[in-house]
Structure 1
């Protein structure tokens, strides 16, 4: 098992952080969620002046054997085609990254395609997609552990370039199926409650998807060990995200968490080391029905609820300006004392 040494967040600045927030020139609590974000940023960085340095988004991509059974509205080939779309800047995630000045990275964790080495795609391919877990485990335990290691290495390289704020995204047709199974096993929730529309399935499509996943689940030994669950039902992109998240927390980076699939990776990382959650901000509540169940397990409070379910880090990037605003007011907004403004007095 790969070990990650994640420190507990210190409470030594809690009082000072809250006092700094409360004494800005505003009524206490009037900036709502921005105040909670600023407080958490300060705790993660152990600083009264938290900053967002060289923010990066990393989209990990991988194919899933279960996609051959038709669990998705789209064919598996869309995975590699979307990576070309990223390279051309035509995807929602690349558009938002450009809009907000976030460096965009894409990792081939296990796409069933060979990309030209000259393309700016980070090659960490474990294999050409996972096996079909309706019939056999998605990967070997060795592949799972190697994937966690490779994901950690990607984040370490990004961190060395001065990044302290990381956004995770994914691409892989069929990966909502993996996320549903991960939630069911690690969250101890019935599979039926975990299976949703994914890429847009209708009621009959969701029923067929459930039947296929349930068949795979019936052949599993029901272990709740996160490595066992990832080995049997994960995707190569998901296991790399698990490693990337654990390493980011070890490096004291702030993690901005996207939707259903990314949160399933966090749930697995959380089961490996619960301290990883303390370094996270939760961007939004996905319109995928079971996402809120994942958030509730970890006590994650979503910042936005705008009915998004695209994935690829899009929800997180739409949320990113709010994070910047939280850091901005913390560092630049005057206090009552600085501005010479009278503070509120108690009512008699």
Structure 2
């Protein structure tokens, strides 16, 4: 394989267990019964360990959307035409997409990386053109990407992580845009989890039952062509897409640089699965935002031992489900950092009461 980003060969950052322990101790003395804030307490403790400080913070937040078209659309696997990918890139840039609205609402920085689209994309503010090819090859009949192409996509993702680190970002959200990418993600998940397409293939952009059945048959053809017993990178090249590979590179790049990643839905979770299969320690840097309505997501989450924060029936992509979860993370940190201790507030705690009774 050609040269890969450093995040694929170097040791990843590890969470700071001492900072996490200090945060856990703080949670025990805040003016509340221990554990009464549930997962919010654990989120604050976890982010303390990831950020190496007793008082964690979520902001600044960086959102990067990777876009690319898929050759498998030749098989009629999507309810939308491929031109939509390029049109949505323009919609991201003009502020009309769901993730654009959420980025403004959150005060998060948003960038879009165009890796290759069938439709023409003009020069747009906020869009980086890192073109690999107009479209991947049809994964049902041949490898979706060459070795050089998958490495280019991984490098684009790693570079996005580097930009986030240089900007001092404390949380990274990766999003996807690419008509046909649920077919690619389902094929990847089937290969990595050794599961049949019937259990993972879903409606994507809105296919009916007949469309889902056809899509499942296309994924079966791809899996038969691909074979078995290949590593995560070879599987990614064979069945993935430019944006899925870039997301994988970004996840590894963030883990390499010590930036927590808030994982979106099905597409991004499949990229996370590839990343963890390549570098198991990447798992420590992943926080899973939500349970997608796409059928295959549950199996991927189970394989990653993930407990998503939300289940809202979302399946839009773009990083939108992750963006919706950001206020929860902010609340967890604000409560952890801002609440008074029993001693500070002059409130009698449980231990003091037990001491008097004894």
The answer to whether structure 1 residue 234 and structure 2 residue 240 are counterparts is yes
The answer to whether structure 1 residue 127 and structure 2 residue 133 are counterparts is yes
Matches within 5 A, 1:55-70: 55-70=61-76
Q: Which residue of 2 aligns with 1:82?
A: 88
Matches within 5 A, 1:148-227: 148-227=154-233
SS in 2 for 1:319: helix
- State the aligned residue count: 348
Structure 1 stretches lacking a partner, 5+ long: none
Q: Which residue of 2 aligns with 1:29?
A: 35
The answer to whether structure 1 residue 333 and structure 2 residue 326 are counterparts is no
Q: Distance in 2 between matches of 1:310 and 1:22?
A: 39
Q: Paired residue for 2:109, among 94, 103, 128?
A: 103
Matches within 5 A, 1:238-249: 238-249=244-255
Q: Which residue of 1 aligns with 2:296?
A: 290
TM-score by length of 2: 0.94
Contact 1:4 1:246 in 2 (8 A): no
Q: Distance in 1 between matches of 2:146 and 2:316?
A: 29
How much does 1:18 deviate? 1.2
The answer to whether structure 1 residue 11 and structure 2 residue 17 are counterparts is yes
More helix by share: 2
Q: Distance in 1 between matches of 2:255 and 2:326?
A: 19
Contact 2:16 2:51 in 1 (8 A): no
Q: Distance in 1 between matches of 2:157 and 2:113?
A: 9
Q: Distance in 2 between matches of 1:220 and 1:102?
A: 39
How much does 1:131 deviate? 0.8
Contact 1:68 1:76 in 2 (8 A): no
Contact 2:90 2:124 in 1 (8 A): no
Q: Distance in 1 between matches of 2:65 and 2:94?
A: 15
SS in 2 for 1:219: helix
Q: Paired residue for 2:317, among 311, 316, 324?
A: 311
Q: Distance in 1 between matches of 2:254 and 2:120?
A: 28
How much does 1:282 deviate? 0.6
TM-score by length of 1: 0.96
Q: Distance in 2 between matches of 1:321 and 1:120?
A: 24
Contact 1:134 1:212 in 2 (8 A): yes
Structure 2 stretches lacking a partner, 5+ long: none
How much does 1:178 deviate? 1.1
SS in 1 for 2:252: helix
Q: Residues 311 and 4 (structure 1 numbering): CA distance in 2 closer, same or farther, change over 3 Å? A: farther
How much does 1:157 deviate? 1.8
- CA RMSD in angstroms comes to 1.5
SS in 2 for 1:228: helix
Q: Distance in 2 between matches of 1:203 and 1:115?
A: 33
Q: Deviations over 1:145-184 (max 9, x none)?
A: 2211121012202221121211110000111111111111
Q: Deviations over 1:106-136 (max 9, x none)?
A: 1102222342235321111111010111111
